[in-house]
Structures are given as C-alpha cells and as structure tokens.
Amino acid sequence: MKNFTIVIQGPQDANSASAANAHRYLEVGDVVVSCWAGNDVSGFEGLPVKIVQRPLPDTSGVVNDQNIYFQCTSSLNGLGEADTEFSIKVRSDEAYTDLMPMIREIMANPEKLVTNNTYFRRDREWKFHPSDHVIGGRTDTLKGTFSILKQALETHDTEIAGPRPAEQRIFLSFLRYKGIRANWAQSKETMRTWCGVVPSRRLGSIIWSDSWGQHRVDSHYIKCIEDI
C-alpha cells in the first residue's frame, strides 16, 4: 500500500505509543513523523521513517484553543513530505495496529474526508463535527484543508476560527477547500455526502487519548455515517 503515507503528528518522546507502533504503519505505507525541535525521536531508531522536526510555532496573535494551531501546523509539516496520492494523519500519543479498514474506506470514497468515530458527534449535538484523531483522504485535499485552517487561525476568520470545536473547524476548512458552502440547515446531507467514518474498534488494537487522559466509550459517537 505504498500509495499511502501515514503522518504521525504531535510531540514525541522515546516511549510514545506511535513510535512503538510505527512498524505497523510501515506495513501499509510510508511513514512521516512530524514533531517539534528537541523532541526525543529515538523510539524510531532503525526504522525507515522520515522525521520532520520544526520549532514549536509562536501562537501569539493566533487562535490555539485545544492546541488547534499546533495540530494544524504539525500536520502540514508532515503532509508536506508526503509524495503519495493518499495520506492518513494520526496522533503521536495514539496507536492503531490495523489501518486497512481506513485505507479501504478512503479508496472507496477518495473525494471524502474519512475519519474514525472517536468524538464523531451526532448532528443534534454538533453539526459538521467528525473526529480529528485519525483523518484520511487525498494528500492534496488534506494539505489544502489544513492550509485553509492555518490561515483562518492566523487571520481570525470567524467562519472557521470562531468559538467552535477543533473538529468542526477542520471540516469547515475541508468544505471551503472543496468549494462547498457550509449550509447549516442541510448539515446531515452534507456530512453523508462528504465524510466517511470507520469505527475505531475495527482498527485493531488501539491506544487513544483525550484531553483528560481518559479512554471512554460514548454511545453518542456514531458507528456509521448514516447514524449522523
């Protein structure tokens, strides 16, 4: 599956979950590790991965609640090194031993933004709210999405960077990249048309984290896009 690049984004240390799982990612594609200058990347020693280390960006004057600017910047830094048609972005503090269900969903729906279902909200809770833990699609689409998001965070573009969850900001950036107006009255139809979802339980043995360091199963998270 060398048509895919797995971009591991976020801070690294020698014992990170993603470093321990990198050999699994290499089974399905190229691997780019995008982290910050000074991070310990010794956990990847001996593996044929590309490591991109950039200075932690200055967040003065930009929107960075939920560390959205950090996520956006490290994702872009990694995607910039991807030369495959498709990419999958994962977090440095998480691990998924089987990305093949994601790959199959992306190949079946190459124009969509495909995520897992962690914090994928139902429409009645949050409109345009996929997951941001695992995100896949065409590499150019992901680059365009995060580039639009980065600019919106820097310019305080309220249509995207206003007070809303990080996941919603990412999907609104995707829609803008696609040239699609975010019609809030037709949010369900838009999500069903342009977003794919793979339940995390299908992604092998997993390690995932949230802001509170807790691992939970919540019945509100959708299992398929029709649940939206």
Domain boundaries, the chain: 4-201
Percentage with pLDDT > 90 across the chain = 87
What average pLDDT does the segment 178-190 reach?
96
Model pLDDT for residues 197-207, shown as the tens digit of each residue: 999 999 999 98
Distance CA 35, CA 199 (A): 27
The structure's pTM equals 0.94
pLDDT of residue 209: 74
What average pLDDT does the segment 154-175 reach?
97
pLDDT of residue 219: 47
Longest Cα separation, the chain? 51
Secondary-structure class of domain 4-201 per CATH: alpha beta
Of 149, 145, 46, 131, which Cα lies nearest the Cα of 91? 131
pLDDT of residue 228: 78
Quick one: pLDDT band at residue 211, thresholds 50, 70, 90?
A: low
